[in-house]
Structure 1
Amino acid sequence: MEHTLRAVSIGGGTGQPRAIAALRHMGASIDSVVAMADDGGSTGVLREQAGILPPGDVRKCLSALAGDPASAFARAFAHRFPYIDDHALGNLVLTALAEETDSFAQAISVCEDLLQCVGRVHPSTLDPVTMSGVTVAGQEVHGQARISYGGCAMQRVWLDQQDPAANPRAVEAILSADLVVLGPGSLFTSIVSNLQVPGIAGALAHTHAVRVFVCPKIDSLGETQGMSVADHVDQLLAQSERPLLDAVLVHHASTPEFVYPYAPGPAYRMGALADEVVSARDIDTAKRAPFGPIEAGEQDIARIKGNVPAVLVRDFTGSESAAVHDVQALATALGEVLDQCRSARR
């Protein structure tokens, strides 16, 4: 009987559902490990007012894992109410279930059943955590939303709570996986924030799975502005004294792609750690500039190869936004990585 590929996606934000979609193409059994430091937008309001763990990225993964993502309920689960603090229905459902069951993990389990999910979603920690960091200019920044939208690249980040406990189910999934995919997504707030939970980094260091980092396609305002692919990898490797990666997937297109992700729009609420409401049009002049591909020159690739066994450079351009990976191309590349890394271990 053929073995079903056991895959784990580690991340958060809008990138993780792309990895989940690619893993579904591969026919994998999927567990998603989700960052828990989010404090912006609807999630920030619910964290502050309901005292719940952040539901937003969990909701996105649940939607991506829905048995039928196009079903009316799956679409309603992602539906936003602009006249109610821009809350997504799924965020409200998770909040209500967590209050009724007195368990955020149980709330997720109920939603998995409601959506007939084909995989499981695990918060990286069930402890309340917040994030801080220091920019390359030496300024301390407090709060995940401020790190994401602050307009300056980060030098390093940390969780404010010392040694938060890893979710045992997340650890178990990583240790028993055949493939672990980190990203694509925001480096610090979506990926590193998971690895700042010691038990998660430890599980990643000790698993026998093939561990792959999918580098984002497009540079982002704040957080990683101006960082090359090699800089991204260096930050991940710095999270543990033991090796964390077996392979890196790098996007390279013959024609550079640009995206304007922050068109003027409604105010974006920064969350519980901030007392202001920031308009997308007022944050920074740079925010109105187009974001281009993350630098991935020959020197960058050579630098990565000095620390990671396998580096695959592929064109992940698709018919959707320039910021996202084509799902089929990503699935194909992940299959290549599995074959290559397994062959190297034989």
Structure 2
Amino acid sequence: MTSEKDAPPPRKPRVFKADDIVAEPDADEAIAAAGAAAPRRLHTPVPPRRLTASDINRGFRFGSILFSAMAVLASIALGLWFARFVSIALERQDWVGWLAFGLMMIIAVALAGIVLRELIGFRRLARLANLRALVKATIAKPDAANEKKAVAALVAHYRGRGDLAWGLARVRDHTGDVLQQGDLLRLADRELLRPIDGEARRVILKSAKRVSTVTALSPIMWIAVGFVLVENVRMFRAIAGLYGGRPGVLGALRLARLVVGHVIATGGIAMTDDLLGQFVGQDVLRRLSRRLGEGAFNGALTARLGVVAVEVTRPLPYLDTEPLRMREIFGELVRSLRTSKTAKTGDD
């Protein structure tokens, strides 16, 4: 029989969770050392895995196999037919054979020209990106030598352009007169890029009007969608060409990817939607027809993409010039739509 001195001190209350008992392998030993009987281990049942769509669609897809085999067979048949046609045409020694040979040479030269143009377009876009990086680094760390180097690269980039001859001459004449840091870049922005911004604004407005008109008048939705895509790519090429990029079709598609990514990152679509909401609140679009309202929305989205394309391709940020404003372009677009609506009503 133990005395009161030899008795262990009273155990303090402890709280154990069922998850801790299941998760910790030494829970029974810890409870036993604390002076309590080890409880019975609880086993939490594992919930069954939910059935997903991939589980239902698992297995051989005979339809996909069928269409894939048919597509490969059709490609082989088309290739064999073309090869047989070419071989027969070239074997002939009369005018048909010579005509086929001449046309094949024209096709080869045209393909080579297209590939060369795309490569040159990618190189021009890369040169424009390098110029933007140089100007950005100069603005981040102002230095007189780096600023003159950036302006010299900008002048070399636009050398030979007749529409910028006056601005190039003014930048060359005043390069040595500028003393404060940053004024030389502002001079280049004012003399070289302000005229290009005005022409880019006209290109954007013209494309937005085209998209709005075609969307409002097209009886088939897919025709309007195709025209909107083609017109936007054409607008990107024109804007890049104004700022010295002049990309090909693939380069314009790459520029379109950059523009769409920039719009998504900055919330440009929501901004366009808010702008439309403001005009609807002012009872402007409600006076138009439903089709003209759809055209206005597509035109506004095209204008927004054009403004972003200018921001992406412009070698200098807006330093001494007013940036292109989506609100002004869209306001002019709506006024043109209202004018066309009024003229159509008057003719009727």
TM normalised by structure 1 equals 0.23
